[in-house]
Copies of this chain bind each other. A is one copy, B any other.
């Protein structure tokens, strides 16, 4: 409906506008948004005005806009992600209390690992993960778990594409990645030293729902030299707890 000459819908253009916001860019003018979204300035101004009227953006005194709480509310209130995250949070807190390192929950989204939650404490080490941030499947411990249990079609697509190097230890060879995924399935976990950052080791396990389907990956990021076993024990216990908490979905 109401498509532009390029065939793009208004919805697509709204997404392009919202997509210009991120952790480091929470406040922008309509002109900046248009430039970043690749939209004509007049179009960007009209969409921003509509989004402000609807409460999805909020305007400050300097005519800059930020993402509105109304958008946050609409996105979360009826979301399956919120349900998974709520089931996982008490168990993540237990992991965090035992291991004192970043504890994170990721799901598969558009061929990447999308992080739904991260618990940290001031003493936790280096970690590039952000809530609502993404990491490549082949490079992160969470991603390796999600990929290992993903549909074969998705695995082949990732294996056929170039595997970008994020650090000296990132797996960039398709045959090696195939072996690593088989190891994840055989062991039921992964310990990935240095695949993202040389100073860190990711430890991740699958989280299954009540039917046994893998719905998420639970991970901790340890200093490179730390022994992974205590983290692994805590993660496996947490994954069992989350599975028990995930009752079958009620009919919609």
A70 to B114, CA, bound (A): 10
Contacts of A119 in B (CB 8 A): 89, 93
In the complex, the answer to whether B11 meets A54 with C-beta atoms within 8 Å is: yes
Q: Total interface residues on A, using CB and 8 Å?
A: 65
**One of A22-30, A161-169, A171-179 contacting the partner:** A22-30
A224: Cβ under 8 A from any B Cβ: no
In the complex, the answer to whether B26 meets A80 with C-beta atoms within 8 Å is: yes
Number of copies: 2
In the complex, the answer to whether A72 meets B79 with C-beta atoms within 8 Å is: yes
Which A residues contact B (CB, under 8 angstroms)?
A: 1-2, 9-12, 14-15, 18-19, 21-23, 25-28, 43, 46-47, 50-51, 53-56, 64, 66-67, 69-83, 86, 89-90, 93, 107, 109-110, 114, 116, 119-122, 130-134, 249, 251-252
Known contacts A2-B10, A26-B79, A74-B75; 16 further A-B pairs (Cβ under 8 A): A1-B10, A2-B2, A11-B14, A15-B54, A15-B56, A26-B252, A27-B249, A66-B78, A66-B80, A70-B109, A70-B110, A75-B76, A76-B132, A77-B130, A89-B119, A90-B121
